[in-house]
Amino acid sequence: MAFLSSLDISGSALTAQKFRMKVISENLANAQTTRTENGEPYRRKLVVLSQRVDGFRKELGQVLAGVEVTQVLEDGDDFKVEYNPDHPDADEAGYVRLPNVNTLEEMVDLMSASRSYEANVTAFNAMKQLASTALNIGK
């Protein structure tokens, strides 16, 4: 059953990295959003990944069961402030609060998530090829 377990691990990682890329894309899309439903600028979101624990497998001594998204947190860093008295969201002093999204940091995170996704696709395909070769040995 190690074969199925490895497919499950890669599959769960693919799902987690895809979700991570979606959240990073949302951060990038809202990098200039100065007003949300709560009246504040957009706050950067962070994805927390952790090891997925399958109770049945844990009882059998098989700890590795994959990865899962456990939380999506809002970054508590301060908003950026920019002087722009003509902006509709400027305060009485002419300052506008901007989202705490650093586009360079988000692009690096997006590249990291993309590379992790690609690595898991490669591992998944290698296991499929291994299974196919094993089945062909019996012919």
List, for residues 82-109, the tens digit of each pLDDT value.
Answer: 999 999 999 999 999 999 999 999 999 9
Q: Domain range holding 110?
A: 2-137
53-57, 119-123, 130-134: least confident range: 53-57
Per the DSSP assignment, residues forming a β-bridge with 91 are none
Instruction: Name the pLDDT band for 56 (thresholds 50, 70, 90).
Output: low
Residue 65 confidence (pLDDT): 75
Please check the confidence at residue 52 and state whether its pLDDT lies above 80.
Answer: yes
Q: What is the total count of domains within the chain?
A: 1
The predicted model scores a pTM of: 0.84
Residue 6 confidence (pLDDT): 79
